[in-house]
Structure 1
Amino acid sequence: MLLTISTTLRPATDLGFLLHKHPDRVQEFGRSFGTARVFYPEATAERCTAALLLEIDPVRLARTGRNLADTSLAQYVNDRPYAASSLLAVALGDVFRTARLGRCDARPELAAAPIPLEIGIPALPCTGGPEIAHRVFAPLGWAVDARPIPLDERFPEWGDSRYLRLRLRGELRLADALNQLYVLLPVLDSAKHYWIAPDEVDKLIRAGGGWLATHPERALITRRYLGRRADLTREAFARLAELGDDVAESLEPPVEEDPAAGDEAAPAEEERGGGTPLNTLRHEAVLAALEETGARTVIDLGCGSGRLLAELLDRPHFTKVTGVDVSAHALGLAARRLRIDRMPEPRHARLQLFQAALTYTDPRFAGYDAAVLMEVIEHVDPPRLAALEKVVFGTARPGHVIVTTPNAEYNVRYPGLRERAGSGRPALRHPDHRFEWDRREFAGWTAHVASRYGYRAEIRPVGDDDPEVGPPTQMAIFTRTEGGR
């Protein structure tokens, strides 16, 4: 696998000082998974290019891997020797360690200044395609040229592969560029070829602390870099928030592992960009539905990090706003987002937060005009759904209940999802989802709950209503009938 770094700085050969690698020599660095070499294909005063070539030893990599019992041929025949991945990021991080720190005793003023740079990667696996490459690199000041590589140029009807030819151009500090590549190469691949340990959070903060906290795709980047491990992702967001209140204000908390983390985007949903994010469309749809009901008191069952609560509190006609979550950590995130410790008294008087499980009767759930279950029910084990239905619709009995959940049919529109082996249905959008319903299944559940508990229900699409597979999210608005028990 290959990565090139070019500059037209005058004299361009000063790139050798910044990288701490002399243009006249080929330098070799042994690694547990292969050999990294740094050399200069061109080195003139007008233009200089440094190349990092990583030669993977598949046998050595397989023998040092974690799955020693795996005897499949795929251990030895795969794309690792050719396609840029986390292995290239590891080599880059080690070989250019001093350059990543921004240190250059010979040219300190140059190390501190932006210089014209061009980065080239001929084969880069990218889950989500060129659009994801633009979304992660463009906000950092790069001009992005990301071109899909066809499966076979002789057979264009076969379509494109998951690999890109990536070229970046911009004026940045070399240290910033290297740290961005160190983080974003495994993010684009959406995979790491080594064990993700807790110290990965330290690596992410060191490499991304100067730019990640304000990046518009910080949630996607953090989750992918940390292998979507919610415990590490939570820690990373907390560490980034310590950079200052202005940064903390801009951070979106990570997806929770528990059923109540219903206000965040599922990982697969982040990969399909274009237009307004689906998570924002869900919030807008739920708020519009609440406005239509005329509700004044609202309980968010599964409030997660409190985004909907904040939006409700911004509307004074909602006189009582309550957030409930099974996770104490999620409630802590909500309290931080809402800034309860600095909240004006009139606003604070309208808010209540408490911890509870939605499958157990709790008298505190009762007495509200409307309840919201946004992206919650799919986190509940199917055998426990009846208990949730009884608690919400049978005991708490709000005047209105608004439920949103993924439409499983739409999952085919997300490039990152793969067919579950032997099932014939798309993979789930989030690793904690216990199920995802298609439109027919959701309509059947809605009709059953409405009939059993004395509600009438209306189903609406949320997001682009695809003529073939329907909308990405489906929403039901339940209204209690006068004769309902």
Structure 2
Amino acid sequence: MLATITYTGPDATDLGFLLHKHPSKVQTFPMSVGQAHVFYPEATDERCTAALLLEVDPIDLVRNKRFGGTDSFSLSNYVNDRPYASSSMLAVALGQLFRTAMTGRSDARPELAASAIPLEIELTAVPSRGIGGLATRLFEPLGWAVDETAIPLDPAFPEWGDSRYANLRLTATIRLSDALRQLYVLLSVLDDSKHYWVSDDEVGKLLRAGEGWLPEHPDRELITQRYLAHQRTMIADATARLVELDDDSVPAEPDAQTSTPLYNLRAEAVLAALKDVGAHRVADLGCGEGALLKRLAADPSFVEIIGTDVSSRSLNIAEERLQLRQLSDAQRARIKLLQSSVTYQDDRIKALDAAVLMEVIEHVDPDRLGSVESSVFGHARPGAVIVTTPNADYNVLYPSLPAGRFRHPDHRFEWSRAEFAEWAQGVADRNGYQVEFRPVGEFDPAVGSPTQLALFRRV
């Protein structure tokens, strides 16, 4: 299996500094499934190509219990595509041989490593199991121009049609570290048949390699399922953690002093507000995959916890994340997951101590906000309501966020502090509540904090 990376630009041989592999050498590295070779078939000042050739020994692959399974005498273990298709084995080789390049570190050329550069990547015999044109579907949303050429089953018999393999040519102006991390994940996704045991640390690998691009990818669910080999518990964990990153996918401002992720600060602020109002019976409205529910469940002072969401899939993931089936009857009785919408009046959430709408209202169409007010503040009437939402004033501190663009593609709006205050005060006045506002996250004197919180107390 062969992968090539081509850089066209001034002093193109600087690609060697980024990959930490010298252009004038052929280097061979032992792998668990064979040998990997790195060499440069082309190295000029205008154009430089690095090639990774992975030679898999099919006999060693079968005899290795880690990869071949227990039935080493089965013919299917020997007759397969593993030595030839650009699969998860190539992804592992990329991760091992270009590990430092994937982190974006280059002591010799730090500015080049941090810059988007013109790259062309070619991959041979890439599997695309089950979905035609999958490579285009995966790479195009990341800014790649994709030339996906299907390989015929037999060129001599065109009537047989195409195989499930394709040759890929990807071109983009992108940081090399980002390109390598995307390849590392998506090669395994295209393969959908990992050659190694999927261990518990795979979720962490996925989140690290997917940082900055996976949370917003339109096929995030498919990527997560295939990368984690369809392991339900791991998928639930990864999905929940990706959802936590959803509204924090915009890179932090350069001078931010805090190292705590915004989603953690937001959850901590909500929990602090719940403690301030003395809440013990709480509903998380629009709970998603259960990020806040898990924190609530860990605190025994919350004796009744209700999570609602319109998505049954999200509720199933929340159930997995909370491990409800493994809890005792008494612990499980504290927690209820209900399919419902914040725009519907639901008697099951009436008269609680508090209700939370954490990063929910910005996902509601503005003309439906009246229904949210009616169902939560008018019908359910909890003792307190906690609402968090992005502060649009703060968006100017995100250098990668174009003017007029929201932080997340599913946001229907993002309010300034004045707009949020006007809405919240109107809701409080119309429904018999008092409201106070709290900043969440790094505070800037000019534009405030990235998240704004309103705490409503029923009068």
Same structural fold, with TM-score higher than 0.5 when normalized by the shorter chain: yes
Check if 1:158 corresponds to 2:160: yes
| 1:31–1:73 Cα change, 3 Å | same
Q: How far 1:174 moved relative to its partner?
A: 0.2
- Take 1:38 and 1:251, find their aligned partners in 2: how far apart are those partners? 48
- Take 2:6 and 2:288, find their aligned partners in 1: how far apart are those partners? 35
Structure 2 residue corresponding to 1:347, chosen from 371, 375, 390: 375
Match of 1:100 in 2: 102
- Take 1:320 and 1:30, find their aligned partners in 2: how far apart are those partners? 62
Q: How far does the alpha carbon of each residue in 1:99-125 deviate from its partner, in whole angstroms, 9 at most, with x for none?
A: 001010110000000000001012100
Match of 1:28 in 2: 28
- Take 1:44 and 1:76, find their aligned partners in 2: how far apart are those partners? 41
Q: How far 1:214 moved relative to its partner?
A: 1.1
Match of 1:75 in 2: 77
- Take 1:262 and 1:240, find their aligned partners in 2: how far apart are those partners? 16
Match of 1:84 in 2: 86
- Take 1:44 and 1:305, find their aligned partners in 2: how far apart are those partners? 62
| 1:182–1:305 Cα change, 3 Å | farther
| 1:262–1:227 Cα change, 3 Å | farther
Whether contact under 8 Å (1:212, 1:218) holds in the other structure is yes
Check if 1:50 corresponds to 2:50: yes
Match of 2:9 in 1: 9
Secondary structure, in 3 states, of the residue corresponding to 2:70?
A: coil
Whether contact under 8 Å (2:215, 2:246) holds in the other structure is no
Check if 1:320 corresponds to 2:346: yes
- Take 1:305 and 1:115, find their aligned partners in 2: how far apart are those partners? 48
Structure 2 residue corresponding to 1:209, chosen from 208, 211, 214: 211
- Take 1:200 and 1:335, find their aligned partners in 2: how far apart are those partners? 31
Check if 1:221 corresponds to 2:223: yes
- Take 1:198 and 1:351, find their aligned partners in 2: how far apart are those partners? 41
Secondary structure, in 3 states, of the residue corresponding to 1:127?
A: coil
Secondary structure, in 3 states, of the residue corresponding to 2:133?
A: helix
- Take 1:128 and 1:109, find their aligned partners in 2: how far apart are those partners? 41
- Take 2:170 and 2:338, find their aligned partners in 1: how far apart are those partners? 35
Q: How far 1:59 moved relative to its partner?
A: 1.5
Structure 2 residue corresponding to 1:142, chosen from 141, 144, 154: 144
Q: How far 1:322 moved relative to its partner?
A: 6.3
Secondary structure, in 3 states, of the residue corresponding to 1:243?
A: helix
TM-score, length-scaled by structure 2:
0.58
Whether contact under 8 Å (2:189, 2:227) holds in the other structure is yes
Secondary structure, in 3 states, of the residue corresponding to 2:215?
A: helix
Q: How far 1:68 moved relative to its partner?
A: 2.2
| 1:116–1:305 Cα change, 3 Å | farther
Q: How far 1:170 moved relative to its partner?
A: 0.5
Secondary structure, in 3 states, of the residue corresponding to 1:169?
A: strand
- Take 1:194 and 1:304, find their aligned partners in 2: how far apart are those partners? 36
One-letter code aligned to 2:135: A
Match of 1:447 in 2: none
One-letter code aligned to 2:61: L
Number of residue-to-residue matches in the alignment: 292
- Take 1:347 and 1:141, find their aligned partners in 2: how far apart are those partners? 41
- Take 1:305 and 1:109, find their aligned partners in 2: how far apart are those partners? 51
| 1:112–1:130 Cα change, 3 Å | farther
| 1:322–1:50 Cα change, 3 Å | farther
Whether contact under 8 Å (2:120, 2:169) holds in the other structure is yes
Match of 2:429 in 1: none
| 1:200–1:77 Cα change, 3 Å | same
Match of 1:415 in 2: none
What runs of 5+ residues in structure 2 fail to find an aligned partner?
Answer: 250-262, 267-285, 291-308, 315-335, 350-355, 362-368, 382-459
Whether contact under 8 Å (1:40, 1:48) holds in the other structure is yes
Measured on the aligned residues, the alpha-carbon RMSD in Å equals 3.4
Secondary structure, in 3 states, of the residue corresponding to 1:103?
A: coil
Q: How far 1:237 moved relative to its partner?
A: 2.0
Whether contact under 8 Å (2:63, 2:72) holds in the other structure is no
Match of 1:234 in 2: 236
